[in-house]
Structure 1
Amino acid sequence: MEQREIEIFLTLADELHFGRAAARLHVSTARVSQTIKKLERRVGAPLFERTSRRVGLTPLGRGLRDELGPAYQQIRAAVDAAVAAGHGTSETLRVGFIGAASGRFVLEVARAFRAEYPDCAVALVENQFGGGLGPLRAHEIDMVLATVPPRGARQVELTAGSVLLEEDQLLAVSARHRFARRSSVSFSDVARTTILRTPPAISDYWDQTLIPQRTPDGRPVERGPTFETSQEMLALVGAGVGSYPVSAQFTSYYARPDVAYVPIHDAPPYQRRFLWCSAAETTTIRAFDRVAVALARAHTA
């Protein structure tokens, strides 16, 4: 197998979506499809199960991913280390994060990265929710750990790293709301509440993909006031002004007596990944993402 074939296979195995894999690799969807078909002909059996609704790995595909993945990451690490040594890398990598849980993980990655690349400094930068991807696009930071909406929010000028963490979706509601007494709600139940709005700076990235105008059964979703920060959102929720979908980390880091977190049982999980500007990608950024992937896998092993 050629390096590009391995890269395409592993990326599709990570994304399980031909369009997203193509966008991440900066190639056409047809290129990804053709490469996978070529590999399957060579292997003699399907590596992926494809339907009109989903893409999944076959048992053979999972085995190939598990065998190739660590070896490919080791090769990438060796190349990155050689490039860093050859260029005398001593830059400061500015890594953004939003929220306490993300900050804790980024700090762990930074420690592991510094152990491997002692000449490269890492500056952690806390971003406010309302700022969206503004600091990244303004080149105030080099990369940011972001909770990516389940329906994608892929943008042409951005590169998304591998999935590091997945978290269930919860609906934050007032502790006095009737949903607070439920064990779970459906995504269609969202239309029975007023959903708060995200700040304009991130509406294109987050809000338009997270909250559709209508639920799957056709009901319009009523929208409420706009919030700028996570704490402001929770204050509005606690006051009964509206509700908002959040990730599972909120139960540990943002517990409040006036807010209840109810699982949305039919919603796909959120994915946390590093994002960076494609045009500004460097060997150091790729190396930091690689260290993050290894650390995330160690946590789930």
Structure 2
Amino acid sequence: MELRQINYFIAVAEELHFGRAAERCHIAQPPLSQQVKRLEEELGVTLLERTSRRVALTPEGKEFLKRCKDVRDRLNEAVICIQDMAKGLEGQLRVGFIGPASLSKLPQAIRSFRERNPNIRLDFSAQSTTEQLPLLRGDRLDIAFVRLFGHDTSGLNSLLFLREPYVLAVPEGHPFTERDSLDLKDLEGEPLVFFQPMNQPALYRSLIGAFHKAGFMPNIVQEANTEQSIIALVATGMGCALVPASSVVVNRGGVVFRPLTGDLPQWEITALWKKKNQSVILQKFLDVAREFREVH
């Protein structure tokens, strides 16, 4: 059974006239009649009653017409869907991100993308950098917003989305709140809340090295696995903490933020995607991401 036979049958069934159906299909009447006849022979069912005066559908023909039109409509929808996907008008984008990215302009970028592309479904996954990289390489993510520090990025393209300095989160009422800014050397002996080394071991070593260069080792009294948890611990008065500058947008009582100077690495969030991924939807998303990137 061929698609053209189905189209010929639909035309005859709707026109109930072989001549008009042939004109509609831009084909001569004899070959159209032959194709419809072959379709009936292949099915082993009479679909049309033919006389010298009229053409009528049999009960089987009426049911087959209904089913054929459904197949045609579904095929047309599939063609339009695939064409829209090729144009980046419809489809899916899977976005991974680390928790701190939610404090950057990534949410605004996502909102802008959705407003411009309402027919594209976005799926989100909040995970660590270490968890996202294999998902990206395994084609289970299309783009990942991560924090790189010594990670293997071979086979991946990158876009620096955010670069900003560290600031010091200080408990309310602490003497540091009376100062406009602080230097890393001011933290000698000060109780500190730090992130857990297992999450970013290379970065952890780098920050410890910055304290060492300043002439002392940090007094770490507590560790946590997210920036939000670290800030919450600062609010309890447990100690101060180094956090990215975007953390200032967190409206949490009991915490004051102060600029921090010293030989510290910059806080960065990078967008990664596979070099082989040529998706039009991904390129559209990257265009929007470039509009909202913050690199200081």
Out of 259, 266, 271, the position equivalent to 1:263 is 259
Q: Counterpart in 1 of 2:107? A: 107
Distance 1:167 1:226 in 2: 22
Structure 2 partner of 1:195: 192
Measured after TM superposition, the shift of residue 183 of structure 1 is: 1.0
Structure 2 Cα separation of the partners of residues 102 and 280 of structure 1: 30
Unpaired stretches in structure 1, ≥5 consecutive residues: 1-81
Are residue 98 (structure 1) and residue 82 (structure 2) matched? no
Matched, 1:157 2:158: no
Letter in 2 for 1:175: E
* Aligned CA distance change for structure 1 residues 108 and 251 (closer, same or farther; 3 Å): closer
Give, in whole Å, the separation in 2 of the partners of 1:248 and 1:178: 20
For residue 229 of structure 1, the aligned residue among 222, 226, 229 is 226
1:246 corresponds to 2:247: no
Identity of aligned residues (%): 19
Aligned counterpart, 1:168: 165
In the superposition, relative to structure 1, how do residues 165 and 100 fare at CA in structure 2: closer, same or farther (>3 Å)? Answer: closer
Aligned equivalent of 2:34: none
Q: Does 1:145 align with 2:145?
A: yes
CA distance in 2, matches of 1:160, 1:225: 36
Q: State the alpha-carbon separation in 2 of the partners of residues 288 and 214 from structure 1.
A: 39
Give the alignment of 1:14-29 within 5 angstroms.
Answer: none
1:156 partner SS: coil
CA distance in 2, matches of 1:98, 1:236: 17
Letter in 2 for 1:94: V
- Kept in 2, the 8 Å contact 1:237–1:243? The answer is yes
Task: Report how far residue 92 of structure 1 moved.
Answer: 3.1
Q: Distance in 1 between matches of 2:226 and 2:161?
A: 24
> Which of 276, 287, 290 is the matching residue for 1:290?
287
In structure 1, the residue matched to 2:125 is 125
Decide whether the 8 Å contact of 1:197 with 1:223 is kept in 2: yes
Secondary structure of the corresponding residue to residue 107 of structure 1: helix
CA-to-aligned-CA distance 1:49-69 (integer Å, 9 cap, x gap): xxxxxxxxxxxxxxxxxxxxx
2:181–2:259 Cα contact (<8 Å) kept: yes
Amino acid at match of 1:289: L
Q: Which secondary structure does the structure 2 equivalent of 1:241 belong to?
A: coil
**Hey, what's the Cα distance between the residues in 2 that align with 1:141 and 1:191?**
42
Q: Which structure is higher in strand share?
A: 2
What residue identity is the alignment partner of 1:96?
Answer: F
TM-score, with structure 2 as normaliser:
0.55
Inter-partner Cα distance in structure 2 for 1:87 and 1:169: 38
Post-superposition CA distance 1:263-285 (Å, at most 9, x none): 10345653333235x57755454
The number of aligned residues is 208
CA gap 1:214/1:107 in 2 versus in 1, 3 angstroms: closer
Structure 1 counterpart of 2:259, which letter? P
How many Å apart are 1:292 and its aligned residue? 0.5
Paired letter, 2:123? A
Aligned mates of 1:172, 1:292 — CA distance in 2? 28
Distance change in 2, residues 1:110/1:100 (3 Å): closer
Select the structure of larger CA radius of gyration. 2
The yes-or-no answer on 1:177 pairing with 2:174 is: yes
**2:17 — aligned with what?**
none
Which deviations, in whole Å up to 9, do the C-alpha atoms of 1:55-89 show, x marking residues without a partner? xxxxxxxxxxxxxxxxxxxxxxxxxxx9x727997
- 1:239, distance to aligned residue in structure 2 (A): 2.8
Aligned partners of 1:195 and 1:224 also within 8 Å = yes
Q: Report the aligned-residue RMSD.
A: 3.8
Partner SS for 2:168: strand
**Corresponding residue number in structure 2 for 1:21:** none
TM-score (norm 1): 0.54
Structure 2: gaps (5+ residues): 1-82
- 1-structure distance, mates of 2:181, 2:287: 36
Equivalent of residue 131 in structure 2, options 124, 130, 134: 134
Which moves more between the two structures, 184-193 or 118-127? 118-127
What is the distance in 2 between the residues matched to 1:201 and 1:191?
A: 24
